[in-house]
Amino acid sequence: MTPDQAKQHVAAAVDAQAPRLIDISHQIHAQPELCFEEHTAHHVLCSALEDAGLEVERSAYGLDTAFVARAGHTGPHVAVICEYDALPEIGHACGHNVIAAAGLGAGLAAASLAEALGGRISVVGTPAEEGGGGKCFLLERGAFDGIDAAMMIHPANHDLTRISAITVEQFEAVYSGRSAHAAASPHKGRNALDGAVLGYMNVAALRQHIRPDERIHGVFTRGGDKPNIVPHDAAAHWYVRSPTLDSLGELRPRVLACLEAGAAAAGVTVECRQVAPVYADMLDNQVVLDLYRHNAALTGRQMAEPEAAAAVVGSTDMGNVSYAVPSIHPIIKIAPDDVAIHTPEFAHYAASESGDQAVLDGAKIMAMTTADLWLHPEAADRAGCELDSVRS
């Protein structure tokens, strides 16, 4: 089978599945589920894979809402990634329903050619991208062992070759003081909320003196029970972001010093607890990305390099995968240029006609890219050599 024939085959396979793929995207969109709670999405996706005859491992690698579906026995091993968790209050404002359905479509289409082209595919369902680090746990537990290339798409407001992914570390700062009656004996208390507020103000001052591409943001999660009781307990949830793991290591102690200084000034103590795996920056593999970009053009999508006005900046646990396996994370357009991700407006587009088209186009492009890697095993070898070079 020639490359052109293989690509025509997988594109036709996606078109044949189009009504079901779009229906699954809409089902997941209509029932948004948070980190590690994606039971409906897990069931819908696994059932579709099983119906197509793929070997499916539900609740894979000790995570209730993870899965792996496999096809093929020899040749280059490609992983197509599905994400399907949502955000609090604004649902699928990151468009993970599109990611899930596109990954499903790519996996089904490619699996239909796995034996004929001598390749292997795993469709990997990865829960809890929005802060829970599902891929980090899967990576640690061996889900990506033996994978030659991994890919996923992410919807946004442009067609871009890559996300501008930066590292992120999450932690909870828990302040402990001493309760007292705020009117009768305030001098007997030690105000934990004051410590948290002073720490927040210190971080606000620090923001003037960090790199332009670094970010620090936090919210208070506990601040006392009643105004007439000196709060003995307070907490804040913090994100610290920096371009690379090395630069994150330099920024982290400066942030912690701000929070500890707030506690010292208020006469309370603070404990900073990491609450999720650290997300790495993204190492986009140029060998695989060039294949993807060529196939995107076959669907009519012209991929641009990120620029200041069009870059999608964020953090993803796909970055951790990219340090272990040649990986790509291109951006696919579903919304107008002025509609940003993580907004209610973007959630609307995730189940719109343009979102549905991204499901089909993304599935076709990833399936065609998988076929390229199977038909040209030397490309998978070059992708691995590129990653080895970058890591060294």
Q: What is the pLDDT along the chain (392 residues), one digit of tens a residue?
A: 899 999 999 999 999 999 999 999 999 999 999 999 999 999 999 999 999 999 999 999 999 999 999 999 999 999 999 999 999 999 999 999 999 999 999 999 999 999 999 999 999 999 999 999 999 999 999 999 999 999 999 999 999 999 999 999 999 999 999 999 999 999 999 999 999 999 999 999 999 999 999 999 999 999 999 999 999 999 999 999 999 999 999 999 999 999 999 999 999 999 999 999 999 999 999 999 999 999 999 999 999 999 866 888 899 999 999 999 999 999 999 999 999 999 999 999 999 999 999 999 999 999 999 999 999 999 999 999 999 999 87
Q: Which amino acid is at 48?
A: A
Q: Strand 149-151's sheet: what is its strand order? A: 55-58, 67-71, 120-125, 77-82, 149-151, 327-328
Query: Closest by alpha carbon to 32, among 353, 360, 347, 363?
Result: 347
CATH 1.20.1260.10 fits domain 3-165+281-391: no
Domain 167-274 sits in CATH at 3.30.70.360
Task: Report d(CA 278, CA 283) in Å as an integer.
Answer: 15
Q: Which amino acid is at 270?
A: V
Structure confidence at residue 391 (pLDDT):
85
Cα torsion 102, 143, 331, 161 to 10°: value is -130
Angle ∠(315,45,314) on CA atoms, nearest 5: 10
φ/ψ (deg, to 5) at 17: -95, 0
Task: Report d(CA 41, CA 61) in Å as an integer.
Answer: 17
Q: What is the pTM of this model?
A: 0.93
Residue with tokens 């696919």: 332
Tell me which DSSP letter residue 74 carries: S
Beta strand 67-71 with 269-274 is: unpaired
DSSP 3-state assignment of 87? strand
Quote the tokens at residue 333. 């357009």
Task: Report d(CA 152, CA 95) in Å as an integer.
Answer: 13
Sign of the dihedral through C-alpha 16, 18, 24, 27? negative
Structure confidence at residue 309 (pLDDT):
66
Domain ranges of the chain: 3-165+281-391, 167-274
Strand blocks (E) in the chain: 55-58, 67-71, 77-82, 120-125, 149-151, 154-156, 164-165, 167-176, 215-222, 233-242, 269-274, 313-314, 327-328, 331-333
Q: What are the beta bridge partners of residue 171? A: 238, 274
